Structure 1
Amino acid sequence: MRTSDGPRAGAVLVTAALQFVAGTAGGAGLTGEPVGDVANSHPTLLLPAGTAFTIWSLIYAVLLVTAVWQALPAQRHRDVHRRTGWWLAVSGVLNAAWIVVFTQHWIVVSEVVIVALLACLLTAFAKLGPARGWADRLLLHIPLGLYAGWVTAATVAGAATTGAALGIRPPDTVAVVLAGAATLATAAVTVWVVSRWRAVAGYALAVAWALTWIAVATPATAVVATALTGVALVVVAAGLRLARGGRSATLG
């Protein structure tokens, strides 16, 4: 047992609670204008339908469970928590910060923060290593995959929101091409992650969820087509990984 194990486990627990509280407050408009209202005030072709954002509730809930689990005496000394714990703690702070700045309409700053959040999550995700069993898969690998996958898609959508907030409004045809390219690029990154990394079930699910709700909300038929194509590519890639590598390769 290292002397840093306790503080690290405590930091993960505290920041998981922090982002849960911040997410609830941000959705209710207690930190400024509600997150959904801010997003809708800068409409883009990549803004998912409102239902998509219910995944935040799931992410916050499972991360709280993960935080409690990793703080248990039998867990806190494990190498996987040492590799990922501080990254998760920093991600909790960044998530809460993103909610505050976004609800204050500091859109450019919010995009910088979410890029930093994505970098933390992908670093933690890459450091997972193989799961020891279903507890690891259900309480760490899948939750972290969901979180990283959703923030991957949110970063792309946020870039479009940032452009709209800055008054960047390309011609309709150009906007459709850019939005279509962004959805396919998001799918391509996800396919790469699925083919190279462990614990990709949650990641693939979150990105497919985001692309599906972009397809539901966007008024551009071409973007609907590219988003649904992206969903198909992600699902097929995950299925092939499962068939090729076995359940453990895809789930952890």
Structure 2
Amino acid sequence: MRESKDVVRQITVAASATFALIGAFVGSGAYGGTPVEEVAGGALSADATVIAPAGSAFTIWSIIYLGLVAYAVWQMLPKQTNTELHRRVGYWVAASLVLNAAWILSIQFDMLALSVPVIILLLVVLVRAYLITVKLPAAGAIDAIITDGTIGLYLGWVCVATAANIAAWLTAIGFTGFGVSQDVWGVAVVFVAGAVGIALAARGRAHFAPSLSLSWGLAWVAVGRLTGDLISQPTAVAAIVALVAVLASAAVFTAARLKAEQTVR
């Protein structure tokens, strides 16, 4: 009975990965789709808001999708079938893949308002998946790279994407920031993103992946605000400070864990 449930889970993950890949191709402008940066009147373009990352930031999706495909294949291998990690995390990964595709579809149909709850739900699902990988150790280095690494990169990037998506929607509906300048809002949001990154580093200890992808996003926010059409030096400086803090915290917590392990031994 449990083995049959494992097979259903494995097929569900694989099917969800296929669905997400199709959505990614559509979102890139292939198969008649409109590139994400061009939909909704350019609300999600690199210069739409002060916290929008520069266009090159989105190349990270190639790595994330590669990792997700690798995970879909990896979790179907016989040795991975009945591991507690994949039993616990599999459906959460599948849910994230479906939500990813749903987000792209909402954008393709110019439903920017709908994309906000979808990406927030995606973030919640990824947080849950990440906490499972923190609690249940991977079975070796390969499992850690494919499972922990992919989920971590996915989560870190979606943290940045969620903030950018909400900002794009608020800008599109005419939100003026209660009279507060966009520079101040930009600094505040990137500092919140940095705080989230530090919290993930503290919770994950040696899980570097969320810190890397979140820092990647912050770095491209800085690039966008220093070189794009929408210049905001305060936001750029704040993004650089935040990414340094995220990477430093990841290093500190990892060193602390290694030291604790050596003490126990």
Shorter-chain TM-score bucket reads over 0.9
2:210 corresponds in structure 1 to 203
2:106 is the alignment partner of 1:132: no
Deviation at 1:170, TM superposition (A): 3.5
What amino acid maps onto 2:108 in structure 1?
T
Q: TM-score, normalised by structure 2?
A: 0.89
Q: Where does structure 1 lack aligned partners over 5 or more consecutive residues?
A: none
Q: Where does structure 2 lack aligned partners over 5 or more consecutive residues?
A: 226-230
* Aligned ranges 1:205-220 → 2 under 5 Å: 205-218=212-225, 219-220=231-232
Residue from 167, 174, 187 that aligns with 2:181: 174
Deviation at 1:210, TM superposition (A): 0.2
RMSD across aligned positions (CA): 2.0
1:7 corresponds in structure 2 to 8
Contact 2:221 2:236 in 1 (8 A): yes
* Aligned ranges 1:184-203 → 2 under 5 Å: 184-198=191-205, 200-203=207-210
| SS of match in other structure, 2:175 | coil
1:225 corresponds in structure 2 to 237
Residues 39-82 of structure 1: per-residue CA shift (max 9 Å, x gap) = 78120001100000011111111110111000111111110011
Deviation at 1:204, TM superposition (A): 0.4
CA distance in structure 2 between the partners assigned to 1:157 and 1:39 by the alignment? 14
Residues 96-133 of structure 1: per-residue CA shift (max 9 Å, x gap) = 01001112221110011001111111111101122232
Q: 1:131 to 1:222 in 2, by over 3 A?
A: same
What amino acid maps onto 2:169 in structure 1?
T
2:164 is the alignment partner of 1:157: yes
Aligned residues: 249
Runs of 4+ in 1 over 6 A off after TM superposition: none
Residue from 250, 253, 264 that aligns with 1:238: 250
Contact 2:206 2:254 in 1 (8 A): no
Q: 1:201 to 1:31 in 2, by over 3 A?
A: farther
Q: TM-score, normalised by structure 1?
A: 0.93
Contact 1:145 1:199 in 2 (8 A): no
Residue from 55, 58, 65 that aligns with 1:60: 65
CA distance in structure 2 between the partners assigned to 1:56 and 1:94 by the alignment? 15
Residues 224-243 of structure 1: per-residue CA shift (max 9 Å, x gap) = 11000001101100111222
CA distance in structure 1 between the partners assigned to 2:31 and 2:252 by the alignment? 44
What amino acid maps onto 1:161 in structure 2?
A
Deviation at 1:175, TM superposition (A): 1.5
More deviation, 64-73/169-178: 169-178
Contact 2:85 2:137 in 1 (8 A): no
Deviation at 1:149, TM superposition (A): 0.7
| SS of match in other structure, 1:127 | helix
* Aligned ranges 1:79-98 → 2 under 5 Å: 79-98=84-103
Sequence identity, in percent? Answer: 34
CA distance in structure 2 between the partners assigned to 1:188 and 1:57 by the alignment? 26
What amino acid maps onto 1:22 in structure 2?
G
Q: 1:215 to 1:171 in 2, by over 3 A?
A: farther
More deviation, 218-227/20-29: 20-29
CA distance in structure 2 between the partners assigned to 1:60 and 1:113 by the alignment? 19
1:18 corresponds in structure 2 to 19
Q: 1:246 to 1:21 in 2, by over 3 A?
A: farther
